[in-house]
């Protein structure tokens, strides 16, 4: 478990003060794959570097497995660092050493017997899918393979925590996916807690169970991935979510519908109206035939689906829909009440 309590980090250089982290409070539970997302300069790298004490907080406390790092002596800090592996965007491999020797580095540093090193490195290379690359040099590998070496090296000392600093940012989408799947296996099979920093929401969507969104050194929103993707509150979070979930129509579609609705309104009977609503479904509501029931039950209301999208987050379906309801006000309100009763979040869209 990793905890940060009221953490601040201020950098001072040549008389210039830079408040990189402000009032950070977060808990990463054992077994989590915890994502931290933010734009460049938000403070993500500084935050993750506090966990293995590459940076020290100016104020506040970082605890690993309930123990405050600021109270550790040198020996305890060394043991803590052994317990925390880290992988990097640019892999940080030694070009002059073979794949085998790169993975062996942490074990050589801790004076592990040669036979144990041989066994452990061979086992790790098999695990990351590089069993046949032991004698290769980093410049003979693809980006994805280099990151696999980085992962094997980070696992060499049997850590219980793995920190990933933009680990897939230099990789193409397909390679990114395979590396993320490998991280998921590490989390599940070795029960390693993972903390990932990224600027890509697709990374969070793919493997994280919890997420914190950072902006200008602060955490502006955090929660389960389902909560944050389902109901983002802060405008920056909404922008990130929109990069992976299309929750509304494109603007040219909106204009077309506005024009059509305006024309239809001219032809309405005196007591009729047209209303447009945005619906959000989460979990089991997304799989129930709610719209079908609405259509069958409220025969005086004409239903028109203008937009629909379903996304899977953490094995739960998230649905977004825009519908047009035409009828008299009372019937429309009854239909809306039915949807609310079914747990659908519904909001009228004003044109
Ligand atoms: N060693 C340092 N000395 C001075 N300022 C620093 C130092 N490290 C980071 N900063 C500053 O702290 C702020 C946060 O930087 P950080 O690298 O943590 O952000 P980030 O979200 O990881 O950005 P990026 O995605 O671009 O790496 C920035 O304004 C940066 O210039």
Cβ atoms of residues 156 and 103 within 8 Å = yes
Cα of 18 from ligand 1 centre, angstroms: 9
Beta strands in the chain (DSSP E): 2-13, 16-28, 33-38, 59-64, 67-68, 84-88, 161-165, 193-198, 210-215, 218-224, 272-282, 302-313, 316-328, 345-349
* Distance separating alpha carbons of residues 3 and 56, to the nearest angstrom: 14
Helices (H), 31-128: 44-51, 74-82, 99-109, 114-127
* Distance separating alpha carbons of residues 124 and 164, to the nearest angstrom: 18
Cα of 20 from ligand 1 centre, angstroms: 6
* Cβ neighbours around 245 below 10 Å, total: 19
Q: Convert the pLDDT of each residue in 36-55 to its tens digit.
A: 999 999 999 999 999 988 99
Does the CB atom of residue 38 touch ligand 1 within 6 A? yes
Cα of 89 from ligand 1 centre, angstroms: 15
Cα of 50 from ligand 1 centre, angstroms: 13
Cα of 43 from ligand 1 centre, angstroms: 6
**Predicted interface score ipTM higher than 0.90:** yes
Does the CB atom of residue 11 touch ligand 1 within 6 A? yes
Q: Convert the pLDDT of each residue in 49-101 to its tens digit.
A: 999 889 999 999 999 999 999 898 888 888 888 899 999 999 999 999 999 99
Q: Convert the pLDDT of each residue in 225-250 to its tens digit.
A: 988 988 899 999 999 998 888 777 77
Nearest-atom number in ligand 1 for the CA of 197 is 22
- Counting other chains too, the contacts that 96-100 makes at CB distance below 8 Å and 24 or more residues apart are 96/137, 97/137, 97/138, 98/134, 98/135, 98/136, 98/137, 99/125, 99/130, 99/133, 99/134, 99/135, 99/136, 99/137, 99/138, 99/141, 99/149, 100/125, 100/134, 100/135
Q: For position 286, what pLDDT does the model report?
A: 58
Q: Convert the pLDDT of each residue in 104-125 to its tens digit.
A: 999 999 899 999 999 999 999 9
What's the Cα-to-Cα distance from 220 to each of 3, 11, 22, 38, rounded to whole Å? 17, 21, 11, 10
The alpha carbon torsion through 77, 81, 83, 85 (nearest 10 deg) reads 170
Task: Give the phi and the psi of residue 103 in degrees, each rounded to 5.
Answer: -70, -30
Task: Tell me the best of 7, 43, 214 to mutate to test the pocket of ligand 1, counting ligand atoms within 8 Å of each CB and taking the most.
Answer: 43
- Among candidates 338, 254, 262, 263, which has minimal Cα distance to 300? 338
Instruction: Determine the length of the chain.
Output: 351
Cβ atoms of residues 62 and 8 within 8 Å = no
- Among candidates 315, 201, 212, which has minimal Cα distance to 247? 201
Q: For position 351, what pLDDT does the model report?
A: 63
The alpha carbon torsion through 37, 41, 45, 50 (nearest 10 deg) reads -110
Q: Whose CA is nearest to atom 7 of ligand 1?
A: 11
Q: Which residues pair with 213 in a beta bridge?
A: 37, 221
Nearest-atom number in ligand 1 for the CA of 199 is 25
pLDDT exceeds cutoff 70 at 287 = no
Does the CB atom of residue 23 touch ligand 1 within 6 A? no
What's the chain's Rg over C-alpha atoms? 26
- Calculate what percentage of the chain has a pLDDT beyond 70: 98
């Amino acid at each position: 478990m990793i905890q940060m309590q009221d953490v601040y980090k201020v950098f001072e250089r040549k008389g210039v003060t830079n408040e990189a982290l402000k009032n950070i409070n977060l808990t990463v539970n054992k077994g989590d794959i915890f994502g931290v997302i933010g734009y460049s300069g938000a403070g993500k790298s500084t935050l993750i570097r506090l966990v293995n004490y590459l940076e020290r907080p100016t104020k506040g406390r970082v605890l690993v497995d309930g123990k405050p790092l600021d109270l550790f002596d040198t020996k305890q800090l060394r043991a803590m660092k052994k317990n925390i592996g880290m992988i990097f965007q640019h892999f940080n491999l030694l070009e002059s050493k073979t794949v085998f020797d790169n993975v062996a580095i942490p074990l050589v540093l801790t004076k592990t017997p040669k036979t144990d090193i041989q066994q452990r490195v061979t086992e790790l290379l098999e695990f990351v899918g590089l069993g046949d690359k032991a004698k290769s040099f980093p410049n003979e590998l693809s980006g994805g393979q280099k990151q696999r070496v980085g992962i094997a090296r980070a696992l060499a000392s049997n850590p219980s925590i793995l920190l990933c600093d933009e680990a897939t940012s230099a990789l193409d989408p397909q390679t990114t996916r395979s590396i993320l799947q490998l991280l998921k296996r590490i989390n599940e099979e070795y029960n390693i807690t993972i903390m990932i920093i990224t600027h890509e929401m697709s990374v969070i969507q793919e493997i994280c169970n919890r997420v914190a969104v950072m902006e200008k050194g602060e955490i502006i929103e955090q929660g389960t991935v389902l909560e944050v993707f389902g109901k983002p509150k802060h405008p920056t979070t909404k922008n990130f979510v929109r990069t992976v979930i299309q929750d509304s129509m494109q603007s040219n579609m909106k204009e077309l519908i506005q024009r059509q609705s305006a024309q239809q309104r001219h032809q309405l009977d005196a007591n009729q109206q047209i209303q447009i609503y945005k619906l959000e479904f989460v979990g089991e509501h997304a799989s129930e035939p709610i719209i079908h029931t609405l259509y069958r039950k409220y025969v005086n209301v004409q239903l028109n689906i203008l937009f629909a999208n379903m996304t899977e987050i953490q094995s739960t379906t998230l649905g977004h829909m825009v519908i047009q309801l035409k009828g008299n006000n009372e019937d429309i309100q009854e239909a809306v009440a039915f949807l609310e009763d079914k747990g659908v979040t519904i909001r009228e869209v004003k044109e």
